[in-house]
Homo-oligomer: A and B are copies of this chain.
Amino acid sequence: MTQLEDERETRPIAHCESAAIDRAIGALTAAFGNRVVTSRAVREQHGHTTTWIANEPPDAVVFPQCTEDVQQIVRICAAHGVPVIPFGVGTSLEGQINAPRGGVSIDVRDMNQVLAVHAEDLDCVVQPGVTRKQLNEYLRDQGLFFPLDPGADASLGGMAATRASGTNAVRYGTMKDCVLALKAVLANGEVLSTGGRAKKSSAGYDLARLFIGSEGTLGVITELTLKLHGIPEAIASGVCPFPSVEAACNAVIMTIQTGLPVARIELLDEVQVKAANAYSKLSLPEVPVLFVEFHGTEAEVAEQSERFGEIAAEFNGGPFDWATRPEDRTRLWQARHDAYWAACALRPGSKVFVSDVCVPISRLAECIVATQRDLAESRLVSPIVGHVGDGNFHLCLLIDMDDPGEVSRGEALLGRLVERALAMDGTCTGEHGVGQGKMKYLDHELGPAAVDAMRAVKQALDPQGIMNPGKIVACP
């Protein structure tokens, strides 16, 4: 246990009584028939599968088709004191979908309808199982798009629940900025609605923002009203190599400070570039690179790209290679999105220790360089990729789980990464969320008053503690 870890947040929690679970599954089966699944394979798919965090499968998986189904599931589980764990497509990285106390996974796969598109108001209403790619396919004919893009084809419900962001957030914000309103089923089975489609509101506490990032611990999101944007008239993407990570970061910092409205600005360090060349069949120079994209009118994009080229040159970056053909752009961004898989392929058989931190942009270069030094000194391999326009970057430590020394060096390095980010006035997670993996850091980052306030809110809305227990804050 590191000095950052709070003992209360790390002790194991008791599994739910198995007789209660059996009764709940019986009642669910009576109501939902073969939409309740208890096979081991399906249950394991609904526990955590993406990183080093252990798989903790639920006892059953239910597939609701509408908000009323979710209400009924929650009411049945509440009656038996059984946990419910919302599930989108399972791409979260910090154990958000695990069932440490057992319980019922609510998989919103079949709640995948786009309920309305209000093109004139630049918004739409979707069920939580709609994925971001599905939504953008649906919208394309209307000249609209939903900008947030965490890489994975995540469900929009899951993205809201974890306050996801990804590329494009530097310009369009995170899920907290892109959701106008939502509906959620509360622990008492009631449906909470946070409001209408007005672009802004001061009508009481901001319940939408409270639920965005609450990771299913306060309720199950069953509907989202999302802000949309017109597909830009012009898009230009470019790749720019730099002599060092520091030079690349400094170019990013200046880009942001001068107010250049970059839509995406992504760093791949030399390790990630090697991985991407191998995995995605690219032929990038194996040095740190920035992937950059601008959105606007033809004139704006031309002006912005010229200004970015000047900034890059100031830090000895370049040449600046532009791809304006859609198929070239797609290939480039596909490679960026496949960074995780490319990283995994660097060392087959290893487990991935993922972490994302976020720091004020002025500290970005320093934070990444210190982390690279730490990696070298710890004899560990990790590509670094980042949504660097927001000061946010990711590690994908590739760990041989059969080597206890390597495992403990990896754990210690991730602890130091968080300490480093916090010392720079940053956060332990920019976009992956807390889940199980980062509960131990919250107290150190925010202090006991904030964590106690979160616990009080959690207990007020979920007095039985059945909503995705064992995530974000521990409750007795």
> A210 contacts B213, CB within 8 Å?
no
User: Of A19-27, A273-281, A283-291, A355-363, which binds chain B?
Assistant: A355-363
- Bound Cα distance A461, B461 (Å): 12
- Bound Cα distance A461, B176 (Å): 23
> A122 contacts B257, CB within 8 Å?
yes
Q: Mark A444-476, 1 if CB is under 8 A from B, else 0.
A: 011111111110111111000000000011000
Looking at the assembled complex, report how far the CB atom of A361 sits from the nearest CB atom of chain B, in whole angstroms.
6
> B205 contacts A360, CB within 8 Å?
no
> B193 contacts A449, CB within 8 Å?
yes
Query: Is A89 in the interface zone, CB < 8 Å from B?
Result: no
- Bound Cα distance A163, B203 (Å): 9
- Bound Cα distance A221, B401 (Å): 47
The contact of A200 among B174, B203, B207, B300, by CB within 8 Å, is B174
Closest B residue to A175 using CB positions: B202
- Bound Cα distance A191, B192 (Å): 30
Known A207-B450, A432-B202; contact A360-B213, beta-carbon cutoff 8 A? no
Q: Mark A113-151, 1 if CB is under 8 A from B, else 0.
A: 000001011110000000000000000000000000000
> B121 contacts A199, CB within 8 Å?
no
Looking at the assembled complex, report how far the CB atom of A45 sits from the nearest CB atom of chain B, in whole angstroms.
24
Known A196-B426, A453-B186; contact A213-B202, beta-carbon cutoff 8 A? yes
> How big is chain A's contact interface, by range?
35 or more
A residues 155-176 near B (Cβ < 8 Å) are 162-165, 169, 173-174, 176
Known A196-B422, A299-B299, A300-B300; contact A201-B461, beta-carbon cutoff 8 A? no
Q: Which residues of B contact A43 (CB under 8 A)?
A: none
Q: Which residues of B contact A205 (CB under 8 A)?
A: 210, 213-214, 218, 454, 457-458, 472
Query: Is A204 in the interface zone, CB < 8 Å from B?
Result: yes
Query: Is A438 in the interface zone, CB < 8 Å from B?
Result: yes
Query: Is A69 in the interface zone, CB < 8 Å from B?
Result: no
Looking at the assembled complex, report how far the CB atom of A314 sits from the nearest CB atom of chain B, in whole angstroms.
16
Q: Which residues of B contact A202 (CB under 8 A)?
A: 162-164, 213, 427, 429-434
Query: Is A303 in the interface zone, CB < 8 Å from B?
Result: yes
Q: Which residues of B contact A152 (CB under 8 A)?
A: none
Q: Which residues of B contact A199 (CB under 8 A)?
A: 358, 360-361, 390-392
> A459 contacts B460, CB within 8 Å?
yes
Query: Is A319 in the interface zone, CB < 8 Å from B?
Result: no
Query: Is A442 in the interface zone, CB < 8 Å from B?
Result: yes
- Bound Cα distance A203, B443 (Å): 10
> A118 contacts B201, CB within 8 Å?
no
Q: Which residues of B contact A212 (CB under 8 A)?
A: 206
Known A193-B447, A206-B212; contact A200-B165, beta-carbon cutoff 8 A? yes
Known A203-B445, A206-B209, A210-B206; contact A120-B453, beta-carbon cutoff 8 A? no
Looking at the assembled complex, report how far the CB atom of A223 sits from the nearest CB atom of chain B, in whole angstroms.
13
Closest B residue to A164 using CB positions: B202
The contact of A197 among B177, B196, B360, by CB within 8 Å, is B360
Looking at the assembled complex, report how far the CB atom of A473 sits from the nearest CB atom of chain B, in whole angstroms.
7
> B461 contacts A120, CB within 8 Å?
no
Q: Which residues of B contact A120 (CB under 8 A)?
A: 253, 257, 361-362
> A198 contacts B391, CB within 8 Å?
yes
Known A176-B206, A200-B165, A445-B203; contact A456-B460, beta-carbon cutoff 8 A? yes
| 18 pairs from A and B in contact (CB 8 Å cutoff) | A176-B209, A190-B452, A192-B449, A192-B450, A194-B450, A195-B446, A196-B445, A198-B391, A199-B392, A201-B358, A201-B427, A204-B442, A204-B472, A204-B473, A205-B458, A300-B300, A457-B457, A460-B460
Across chains A and B, which 10 residue pairs bring their CB atoms closest together, nearest first? A209-B209, A460-B460, A201-B427, A198-B358, A120-B362, A196-B425, A190-B449, A456-B460, A121-B360, A202-B433
Tell me the A residues contacting B by CB distance below 8 Å.
118, 120-123, 162-165, 169, 173-174, 176-177, 186, 190-207, 209-210, 212-214, 218, 229-230, 232, 253, 256-259, 297, 299-300, 303, 358-362, 390-392, 421-422, 425-434, 438, 441-442, 445-454, 456-461, 472-473
